[in-house]
Structure 1
């Protein structure tokens, strides 16, 4: 066999991606898996299948194993899931398992108990313990991660707070990567007529439009946005807000809009598949979350040259530089939020400038660069390349 062919064969790896739900893989990990396969590796997925496999992955021959994970870490169904994982590993003998989401990451890494030579890579999309997190989160999830560190070869974090925390676990390889990446080239505002999109939404051409892309739940904190708009209304400042997303608090918040007489200013659109068009029709993005890992919705806004007003929390402050690519406000501070909206409402030149800054700063999060980081992390034996291609902060 030719020397180069032998080297290629030796480098081919069999990799199992493990996630609690299949939609996590479909939504965030398809480009990563495609790259690994195109480099000659074999990649399969194990997860609880809540939606069909992405067609591109199916065409590439990726096998999806239906493993009955639940989100409760102590649920007995997860024990069955763990035994299913052991059967899969015993049958297919993967070199690497790459685990995502807390529950799948817990049981996926426990495979090392039975298969000690198995390499485990864990991508933490956002630890459930963080500054300001409920004590119950610290009581449950922090001890789990501390114990599981001994079964983890490599941990990949997405924000600086998680990275600093992960370093204390003394995992062999600890890295800070730029999230899962966004395809910047796919956010083509020039494909949409801004005013035409506004007309379909019953918005006027001269409206000041804010967009919030978020599931309607307690964590995303739509209430702070609503209170800020109410403050602006009292000052005679008319803004329009479009909210893309559905969730358990939708009906309650609609009632609040009625009580505050804001139905003509805040519009819940439900789940949408035309996010880029909606962003194009907007002037500004907003996200008021209590907790984030590294929010993709903010990346999407910045990729479309939109400034962002976000809460001053882990993940958001990694993406948004205050007064440069947007504004950071305190969680729960509706008055501050309203004031920052007013600044941009009254100064459209500044709005455009920080929108351009947002686009420039998000370039480092392009999926091609993120995948490049991932490829080097898979080759951890080469320390020189690791330092060149992974973003590791000492």
Structure 2
């Protein structure tokens, strides 16, 4: 049985769920069986990056400088050519692409280079919440076409698979679902530091902390978090709010939250997300579109109940009334009502938090990597690469 050469391709290694998923899949690969490379473009200046963590893990990034997130015909053509050359020279057995841009260019390059096995994980979809109708239609058409070059397509949840099939992307035989795993250890450890973290944030023992973590972009719905915060603040004098993350909407959100004064903190990009999660009484995930919602599992691993919107794959990782509460998207009143119900019922918060912590254990990164490599082995047998 020979070692199988695998390339993981992603546009950039900024901080995000898709990037963490890809990083851990490379980091925890079975090196006796797989020889794994990580291929990526550069993280944009000022963008929070995972590249230090990648280097610290001893992983070298194979650079494709022209691989960028935004559409750029000249750069995209160069990236296609560069990827094709790399795939052919390094003679990969498997090319596994991640996210839309790297997924499109990487798959057509892998097909051109005659890579035996092509796998793609979109990490969600762009069917709504990202672009206008014309661009969405164009990207959907491209996804339909390039799906034909894929041996397998991996979504994070069954609901994600159904949404792709409803848009005509791939066939049922091509699709499978493998969750995006999380590193449970730091969130479990953070529980012990809860009081110290709250003190550092200037939050009192009796304050009720409502938090959110994520990119401050329209699709993440944090405007509804801020609107809900105003409602909660009126009814709950000891309510405090924290938002960790950065993005295009930060300034507008800060302006919208101005009347809350010191009761809300915009923390920016943080390296202590696990501690922040444990310091919260409730974590709010107000997304308009979400592939899975890793932040829900991270909050759960820290024992923090979640209020989240019923979109995308979220209902598959949040068990309604058992590990958290679901609300409609774009509904600040619904968010506020759910938060206030938890504030009024400490026993329910404790019950939900305990169940969420137990539920999160089945979403470990080790289990995720096992499932991905099991899929590889199935494809290796189908293609008779060990013959």
Same-fold status (TM-score > 0.5): yes
Offset at residue 132 of structure 1 (A): 10
Q: Which residue of 1 aligns with 2:292?
A: 294
Q: Which residue of 2 aligns with 1:243?
A: 243
Q: Which residue of 1 aligns with 2:347?
A: 349
2:116 to 92, 115, 118: 118
Question: Is residue 8 of structure 2 the alignment partner of residue 17 of structure 1?
Answer: yes
Distance 1:340 1:321, change over 3 A: same
The separation in 2 between residues aligned to 1:172 and 1:298, in whole angstroms, is 29
The separation in 1 between residues aligned to 2:326 and 2:101, in whole angstroms, is 31
> Does the 8 Å contact 2:87/2:115 carry over to 1?
no
CA deviations 1:283-302 (Å, max 9, x no partner) are: 11111111111222222101
Q: Which residue of 1 aligns with 2:231?
A: 231
Q: Which residue of 1 aligns with 2:84?
A: 86
Choose 1 or 2 for highest CA Rg: 1
Offset at residue 257 of structure 1 (A): 2.0
Distance 1:343 1:189, change over 3 A: farther
CA deviations 1:111-135 (Å, max 9, x no partner) are: 2442335310101201111599853
The separation in 2 between residues aligned to 1:126 and 1:190, in whole angstroms, is 29
Question: Is residue 28 of structure 2 the alignment partner of residue 35 of structure 1?
Answer: yes
Moved more, 237-246 or 20-29: 20-29
> Does the 8 Å contact 1:217/1:249 carry over to 2?
yes
Offset at residue 323 of structure 1 (A): 1.3
- Matched residue count: 372
The separation in 1 between residues aligned to 2:337 and 2:279, in whole angstroms, is 22
> Does the 8 Å contact 2:85/2:113 carry over to 1?
no
The separation in 2 between residues aligned to 1:191 and 1:338, in whole angstroms, is 25
Offset at residue 319 of structure 1 (A): 1.4
Distance 1:317 1:70, change over 3 A: same
The separation in 2 between residues aligned to 1:69 and 1:276, in whole angstroms, is 31
Q: Which residue of 2 aligns with 1:45?
A: 38
Cα RMSD for the two superposed structures:
2.5
Distance 1:162 1:134, change over 3 A: farther
Offset at residue 53 of structure 1 (A): 4.4
The separation in 1 between residues aligned to 2:92 and 2:218, in whole angstroms, is 39
The separation in 2 between residues aligned to 1:201 and 1:84, in whole angstroms, is 47
Give me the TM-score of the superposition, normalised by structure 2: 0.88
CA deviations 1:143-201 (Å, max 9, x no partner) are: 1111112110111101223212445522753211112x111123234564322221211
The separation in 2 between residues aligned to 1:229 and 1:171, in whole angstroms, is 42
Q: Which runs of 5+ in 2 are unaligned?
A: 44-48, 383-387
Secondary structure of the corresponding residue to residue 308 of structure 2: strand
CA deviations 1:292-347 (Å, max 9, x no partner) are: 11222222101111110011101222211221111111112111111111111010
Distance 1:147 1:263, change over 3 A: same
Give me the TM-score of the superposition, normalised by structure 1: 0.87
Distance 1:222 1:130, change over 3 A: closer
Distance 1:26 1:305, change over 3 A: same
1:66 to 32, 44, 64: 64
Q: Which residue of 1 aligns with 2:317?
A: 319
Distance 1:209 1:83, change over 3 A: same
The separation in 1 between residues aligned to 2:345 and 2:173, in whole angstroms, is 49
Distance 1:146 1:273, change over 3 A: same
Q: Which runs of 5+ in 1 are unaligned?
A: 1-6, 385-394
The separation in 1 between residues aligned to 2:204 and 2:13, in whole angstroms, is 40
The separation in 2 between residues aligned to 1:136 and 1:14, in whole angstroms, is 39
